[in-house]
Amino acid sequence: MVMLQEPASGASASVWLKAEKIDAAEVPSRLRGAVQQKALQRLNLQDYTVRAGSVQMRTIDGKQAISALADYVENGSQMTEYLTWIFGDKTRVLVFSRAAAAAMPTLKLRIDQLVSSTVVP
């Protein structure tokens, strides 16, 4: 996993990659399943819920992708996690970032800029 951080704002994103050959016909269901699986992995976060209407199928670098927002509570504060999965021919990638809910709209724009320039093998 790689963590990217912007020094001026302190905003950060993490990038997780795994080499895996995936049949193109399986990608849409695998992407939808990734969102559900992440929600199960985050049961340790208070009130972790994928935001209704936030799940979006996308194309990034010609590869199938999915993005979602999830809300949760951390130390009494409303937080949001933004996640984007990209499945390439040989690699799957997850880019994710967490921030206070109020800060996420601005951070999401920055993350989308980063993700849109991603090249996935």
**Residue type for 110, please?**
R
Helices (H) and strands (E) in the chain, counts: 2, 7
CATH topology of domain 2-116: Protein Transport Mog1p; Chain A (3.40.1000)
More confident residue, 64 or 8: 64
Give tens-digit pLDDT for 68-113.
Answer: 999 999 999 999 999 999 999 899 999 999 999 999 999 999 899 9
Give tens-digit pLDDT for 38-70.
Answer: 999 999 999 999 999 999 999 999 999 999 999
Contact indicator for 34, 16 with CB cutoff of 8 Å? no
The whole-angstrom separation of Cα 88 and Cα 35 is 17
Q: Nearest Cα to 81, choosing from 3, 16, 13, 5?
A: 13
What distance lies between CA 72 and its chain's CA centroid? 15
Kindly tell me the sign of the dihedral angle through the C-alpha atoms of 117, 97, 36, 16: positive
pTM of the complete model: 0.92
Write down the domain spans for the chain.
Answer: 2-116
